[in-house]
A and B are shown apart, each in its own frame.
Chain A
């Protein structure tokens, strides 16, 4: 009985204020589309960062003239450091070969050099949880102190920049989350407030004949949540279409998982629910 009543009243609410309802829905759509777009950018950046992270390593160059025994000890010392997965030794010859490979066509330049100027080194690979600027800086410092190690290189500057971009994206996401959520809640709040005002006589009678506040509130809450649901579904469809178009152009783009998509839709429902809850609470408190 009650469920039928709530559904009927929710639908009636839509019919009574179609235009405002559509405005509410499109606001939630726009809000979630904007938020979703930035979340997708962040997501794809994180994917890219994860791929790069596989390649994060520290190079420890050995001092020229360091005896073999010291090099072996240094290698063991590096491997025993917490966070280090492995340390592969690169001889002078191996280093030259790799350099030549990297130079490609211009490898001939190297024939002008009589002696091999490249130092011996260890390529230190890291355990996944240590592939970040802070851990790498700490490890580099420790490796630097090992006798026989001349210099340590780990791309400090670009690694820092990459992480700063990642951090900035998260800050933008968080700010957008707050701004668009507030905007969506405000629009739903206004729509439901207008509906409440249009139905104030009905609400007055409901209270006179003994309806509880909860009973009066529920159809309006449902109406707000339905607006949130419709808006977030439309926003989700928009995001997916946008993603399809962009990934056909650029390829290799990632999209939200099903769980993430469901969370986004639920978030829209929660925004709608919150907007209407505040409106009804205010209205009933005042009436």
Chain B
């Protein structure tokens, strides 16, 4: 379903954002990418969305490969993915409903289907009663729920979440995490990038820890013994063998 094979990415010829990263995800899996800012989490998500291509290695998603993918294939891949961001990326001049429907309209879906699926997605995040509101009338948590509804409206097989709780208060954070878990139990794989160690500590998900563009998940104990960085202290608190859902 998702495979990163020795993927490396360097920006502007000198800054290495990702160094030889390999991992795979199966259908319905919930994986958390954790690491400080600049550790390469967002770059991994960009590679999966094919916003960027790896300089070395290969990224394979839903049958597409970064090596052979054409510009025309990209929209087809993105319709199979859902994405949410820290800054929500909602359109301020459109209502909640219009923001969600927008993701289906751009795929030229018939209007009946657009309405049905948009309402279903809003129901799923519990915001159908606020469909006529504008984003500025909503709290951060609610705005992120709208973004989740927009990501779900295309029935993605994989939901990419880039710091989804970064602009959300603690109560909203819990709600967002509950919704993500709910989505996952219904069969959608979730790949969440976050730097919030406390958040991950409570979650029983597979965790891939990144530091300076490399994965350090396979060595949590050694990190605990030797490391002093934020990832090492985080790894000290999570089980050696994180359970996989």
* Interface-facing stretch out of A142-150, A200-208, A259-267: A200-208
List residues 185-210 of chain A with CB under 8 A from any CB of chain B: 201-202, 204-210
5 contacts between A and B (CB under 8 A): A202-B91, A208-B83, A209-B79, A209-B150, A210-B75
Q: Which of B77, B89, B106, B110 contacts A204 (CB 8 A)?
A: B89
Please name the 6 residue pairs, one residue from A and one from B, whose CB atoms are nearest each other, closest first. A211-B106, A210-B79, A210-B78, A209-B103, A210-B75, A212-B75
Tell me whether A215 and B108 are in contact (CB under 8 A).
yes
User: Is A209 touching B78 in the complex (CB atoms < 8 A)?
Assistant: yes
B102 within 8 A of A: yes
CB-based nearest B residue for A206: B106
Q: Is B109 an interface position by the 8 A CB rule? A: yes
By beta carbon, the residue of chain B nearest A9 is: B105
The A interface is mostly helix, strand or loop, or mixed, namely helix
A239 smallest CB distance to B (angstroms): 39
Query: Does B240 interact with chain A (Cβ within 8 Å)?
Result: no
Please count the residue pairs between chain A and chain B whose beta carbons lie under 8 angstroms apart in the complex: 52
Size of the A side of the interface (Cβ < 8 Å), in residues, is 18
Interface contact B107-A208, CB-CB below 8 Å: no
Interface: B76 (CB within 8 A): yes
Considering only CB atoms, which chain A residue lies closest to B105 in the complex? A5
Q: A215 to B109, Cβ gap below 8 A?
A: no
- Would you give the 0/1 interface string for B79-99, flagging 1 where the beta carbon is closer than 8 Å to chain A? 100010000010100000000
Q: CB < 8 Å: which of A1, A2, A208, A216 contacts B89?
A: A208
Q: Chain A residues near B108 (CB, 8 Å)?
A: 1-2, 215
A1 in contact with B78 given A201-B91, A208-B83, A209-B154 (CB within 8 Å): no
B111's nearest neighbour on chain A, judged by CB, is: A1
Nearest Cβ in chain A — how far from B107, in angstroms? 6
Chain A, residue nearest B77 (CB): A210
Chain A residues contacting B109 (CB-CB under 8 Å) are 1
Task: Scan B139-175; emit 1 where CB is below 8 A from any A CB, else 0.
Answer: 0000000000010001000000000000000000000
Q: From residue 44 to 93 of chain B, which have CB atoms closer than 8 A to chain A? A: 49, 71-72, 75-79, 83, 89, 91
